[in-house]
Amino acid sequence: MMPTENVSTNLMTDRKRSILSCIIARYIHSASPIGSGQISRYLKDQVSSATIRNEMVDLENSGYIKRIHSSSGAIPCDKGYRYYLTHLESSELEDIHKIDTIIRPEFADLPIDIDAWVKRAARVLSRLVHNVALITAPLTKQKHLKELHLVHLKGVLALVILVYNGANFGRYLVRLNNLDDPDNLQVAANRINHLLATKNIKQVHEESVSWSPLEREVLLQVQRLLSVDYHQALGDQHIEGLTRISAQPEFAGSIGARDLLAVLEDQDVVSTSLLESAQEGMRVIIGTENPSHELRPFTMIVSSYGNSAGLMGLLAAVGPTRMDYVRAIGGVRSVSGIMSELVEEL
């Protein structure tokens, strides 16, 4: 059944909210579809199974849950997880803060050694969330693209000059197959620079659908060059917990496990997603919200850490969308805070 578009959360009654919360809580721990009988017992038989089934139909039509078969139990959709996170109860939020007191002693005996800090943080976070933890060593903060210049050299060859904040710049030789008139290079540069004054490169890309072939090709080359710079801006990555996540029911079987490990070990895919997702403090990216198609089977909880001198690293908990969100959010928030305190001492 296709979910109904643009359903207002105002239609979410207390009863529907309780049913959705039950489905998510039970599914997180069991990985099995949740039926109306289980929900009725969870609600202490305050609502009949028939009423629960009707409410489940509404939740399914609104895109919060789905059922593999009409007679089967329900599992949450990404939209359901997002609603659940947005409406966490105060008691659950308190549990997030308690996690810090649990894991802080794990860092008490460490020497002043960034590599040791990163490895300990990855190990502690992976054990806490029972999934993958990925952490990069801290480096100077990522450069921000201010403008670009294009210089025609010969034939389809051009020089791209990327100007970053802080008077930094990079020069790159590129091949532009759609370059038939060198004068069009300035037109393309002007168009992109005009948008860069108020937008980031991802937002510029979203407006490029109607551009000329040369303009789109220039933009794609710029994005490729930025991706190279982004990867160089990341410190060494340390991944912990691949065996934990490969044991999850969602990734059972040798083929699924191999595909999973290939994605998480692809540093281009993971680091690009980390950098795009960690620009606004801590973020939770659920399934289809992920900027990288390869990572859409997963939830990523991403945060940056750093010090006042400009050092910055990134860390993330990565697991199936059926993740213990309260525990994972608390773990990422706590570990990023502890890592920030440690690098402040450098």
| Domain ranges, ordered by start, for the chain | 9-86, 90-138+235-344, 145-233
Confidence (pLDDT) at 341:
93
User: Are 175 and 157 a contacting pair, CB within 8 Å?
Assistant: yes
**Bridge partners of residue 154, in order along the sequence:** 157
How many DSSP H helices and E strands does the chain contain? 13, 11
Whether 9-86 and 90-138+235-344 share one fold: the answer is no
| Torsion angles phi and psi, residue 309, rounded to 5 | -85, -5
Q: Identity (one letter) of the amino acid at 43?
A: L
Q: Identity (one letter) of the amino acid at 11?
A: L
Q: CA 271, CA 227: separation in Å to the nearest integer? A: 9
Q: Within the chain, which residues score under 70 in pLDDT?
A: 1-10, 90, 140-143, 166-167, 227-235, 253-260, 265, 267-281
Q: Please name which of 329, 339, 342 lies closest in space to residue 95, comparing C-alpha atoms.
A: 329
The number of angstroms, rounded, from the C-alpha of 140 to the middle of its chain's C-alpha atoms is 22
Confidence (pLDDT) at 4:
39
Q: CA 328, CA 167: separation in Å to the nearest integer? A: 39
Structure tokens at 88: 């966490």
Confidence (pLDDT) at 278:
58
Q: CA 79, CA 5: separation in Å to the nearest integer? A: 11
- Out of 3.40.605.10, 3.10.180.10, 3.40.190.10, 3.30.450.40, select the CATH number for domain 90-138+235-344: 3.30.450.40
Q: So what's the architecture of 9-86 in CATH?
A: Orthogonal Bundle (1.10)
Q: What is the pTM of this model?
A: 0.72
Domain covering 145-233 in this structure, CATH number: 3.30.390
Q: In the 8-state DSSP scheme, what is residue 3?
A: P
